[in-house]
Chain A
């Protein structure tokens, strides 16, 4: 054990030692202050947060504030926007407004869960793939390369055809399709970081291979990738919408933007523009919100740019 005998030898040293001790036992306040201050100055991120939080709020309370039950058909089919139905109704008599604001719950649940799942699968394997110099890393990389080689949309639809369309399966499929992206990102970060001196230094101070990977490489490889998460959520929303658009995803009468756009697409030609437009706008705005947050996160995650 290392000696901790301080026993003042030189008077001058004693006072500086006191200062050192005081500092060692008095850490300052936390990091949260830094983050909130940052957000306060980053206008684009504020807008993005507003949008995303707005949708998140809708996800929670939509069903309570919706004027009509989003899943109850009425006889008022294909009504244009009016005071009774602000966004109009579709071919089955569903109130479009109610469905548009109820959709986020489905989309966000799927998109966020799937993205987190992709992160959880992809990142540790990515660090391993980047760090391991042996066969294991190669095998993992190749498997994920294979997954990524398929056009993601085709892959998603095929997997859903096999598993059957349901929300859970949709989550799994979106996660699987997105995991290789994280793996690849983290792996390339890891490959770069691996050569840096602080990793060598970490070895010298007694880190095992495992703690090297997860205490030093991972925390430094992850943050640049985190900016990707927000974009990924946006993509997951679009993927869900797209898959539902072709009928392989969420089934009616569950409200979901893609499904609604699909239903309303043909209506465009017959002049009922409102059926597809409103869900389309909602989808676009949601995507923009995630993108703006992604921008902000990218800067926030670099400790030297704060």
Chain B
């Protein structure tokens, strides 16, 4: 099956404005996203996940590597040439208030893609499509003529989502779409996103640091650390059998709202290193509970350990043992693979 979007060996460096330091935000990342699926890109600050999103949206140019949309390369396209792709690649941003022009009304915000990209034959058609969109995202029609600051966080994000689906895109980059929302709005938005994905067959790149949310919506998960992918697997596989020690630490730090599932926490040593002065060898070894001298000579390659499951670590045996030690048997979050039968198509 053809990937919708692919990036191969992407590197992105930023020069710091007042010094000669260079930050390598993304360091040799390759990903493919397939039609109708959700790839969750998970990581903490400095992981580079947001930068990957920006690169896929052609908001940034990569320092190295290539980007493809349905096999067509768009790495070096100018802004003007890329405009032709924009209807098919859209975005929902983190802080919904910040991503909406504060002077435009809700209706103007949602219809902007239709007008800019000339997607409707007439003004009348634009308004009809607008009505369709607010209905799709279940936005209260009385809010149509309000300004963003008059809406709640959840409503603002619905506006962002309506705007993103206006052009009927095949692929949407969602950059932490729920981190500034309250508990109820988050649940609402997750359900909305899942429903839209099913109805409209859109692929999502879901960038987040919230593992709860990732688990709720992803079909595959990629874990990033300091610009590199540490682990990539199908969702159930990742949550049941996290193999990279960073993934394990992350999962144990992720607090699921379920008191009966209190596991022990794998505590990491120290702080996240500055992306300007990266450690030698494996980036994670300075904080890794099982890292040692042998991890400092070179960077571990991202290798497959099972079907659809890749890990970048030199110490796979030890990491598997570590997880068993900490978690003993399967945690209550493991889906019962027998009853998770895909009867859902």
Query: Do any beta carbons of A and B sit within 8 angstroms of each other in the complex?
Result: yes
Render A153-180 as a binary contact track against B, CB cut-off 8 A, 1 for contact.
0000000000000000000000000000
0/1 per residue, A162-205, Cβ < 8 Å to B?
Answer: 00000000000000000000000000000000001110111111
Q: A20–B145 Cα gap in the complex (Å)?
A: 12
- B167 CB-CB contact with A under 8 Å: yes
Which residue of A is nearest B54, CB measured? A200
User: Is B279 interfacial (CB 8 A cutoff)?
Assistant: no
- Say yes or no: A201-B132 contact (C-beta < 8 A), given A4-B125, A24-B107: no
Task: Tell yes or no: B280 within 8 A of A by CB.
Answer: no
Contact (A205, B132) CB under 8 Å given A20-B141, A303-B102: no
Contact B131 A201 (CB under 8 A): no
* In contact, B103 and A201 (Cβ under 8 angstroms): no
A205 with B141, Cβ < 8 A, contacts A4-B125, A17-B132 known: no
Is B329's CB within 8 Å of the partner chain A?
A: no
**A219 CA / B147 CA spacing, docked (Å):** 15
Is the CB of A211 closer than 8 A to any CB of chain B? Answer: yes
Which residues of A193-230 are within 8 A (CB) of B? 196-198, 200-209, 211, 216, 219-220
Q: Is A33 an interface residue (CB 8 A)?
A: no
A64 interface residue, CB < 8 Å from B?
no
Residues 88-131 of B at the A interface (beta carbon under 8 Å):
89-91, 93-95, 98-103, 107, 112-114, 116-117, 119-121, 125, 127-131
Residues of B contacting A201 in the complex (Cβ-Cβ under 8 angstroms): 91, 93, 99-100, 160, 163
Determine if B154 is an interface residue (Cβ-Cβ < 8 Å). Answer: no
Instruction: Report if B144 contacts A (CB, 8 A).
Output: yes
User: Number of A-B pairs whose CB atoms are under 8 Å?
Assistant: 121
Q: What residues of A have a CB within 8 angstroms of the CB of B94 in the complex?
A: 197
Known contacts A201-B93, A201-B100, A205-B112; is-contact A2 B167 (Cβ 8 Å): yes
With A and B bound together, what is the CA distance between A205 and B141 in angstroms?
Answer: 22
Q: Are A17 and B131 in contact (CB under 8 A)?
A: yes
**Residue of B with least CB distance to A199:** B101
Q: Are A202 and B101 in contact (CB under 8 A)?
A: yes
Q: How far apart are the CA atoms of A147 and B134 in the complex, in Å?
A: 51
Whether B99 lies near A206 (C-beta < 8 A) is: no
Establish whether residues B91 and A204, one from each chain, have CB atoms under 8 Å apart when the complex forms. Answer: yes
| Smallest Cβ-Cβ distance to B168: which chain A residue | A2
User: What secondary structure prevails in chain A residues at the interface with B?
Assistant: helix
Specify which of B116, B121, B128 is in contact with A206 (CB 8 Å cutoff). Answer: B116
Q: Which of the listed residues A24, A198, A202, A211 has the most CB atoms from chain B within 10 Å of its own CB?
A: A24
Known: A27-B145, A205-B112. A198 touches B101 (CB 8 A): yes
- In the docked arrangement, what's the CA distance between A157 and B102, Å? 43
Flag if B99 contacts A197 (CB, 8 Å): yes
Distance (Å) between the CB of A187 and the closest chain B CB? 17
Q: Per-position contact with A for B149-188: 1 when CB-CB < 8 Å, else 0?
A: 1000000000010010011100000000000000000000
Interface residues in A272-306 by Cβ distance below 8 A to B read 303-304
Contacts of B277 in A (CB 8 A): none
CA distance A304 to B146 in the complex (A): 12
Cα distance A197–B117 in the bound complex, in angstroms? 20
- Judging by beta carbons under 8 Å apart, are A207 and B132 in contact? no
A1 to B80, CA, bound (A): 20
Which residue on A lies nearest to B120, using beta carbons? Answer: A2
Q: A271 near B: Cβ within 8 Å?
A: no
CA distance A16 to B79 in the complex (A): 39
Chain A residue, CB-CB nearest to B93: A197
B144 & A205 in contact (Cβ 8 Å cutoff): no
| Residues of B31-46 contacting chain A, CB below 8 A | none
- Kindly state whether residue B83 has any CB partner on chain A within 8 Å: yes
Chain A residues closer than 8 Å to B86, beta-carbon distance:
204-206
* Residues of chain A whose beta carbon lies under 8 Å from any beta carbon of chain B: 1-4, 6, 13, 16-17, 19-25, 27-28, 196-198, 200-209, 211, 216, 219-220, 303-304
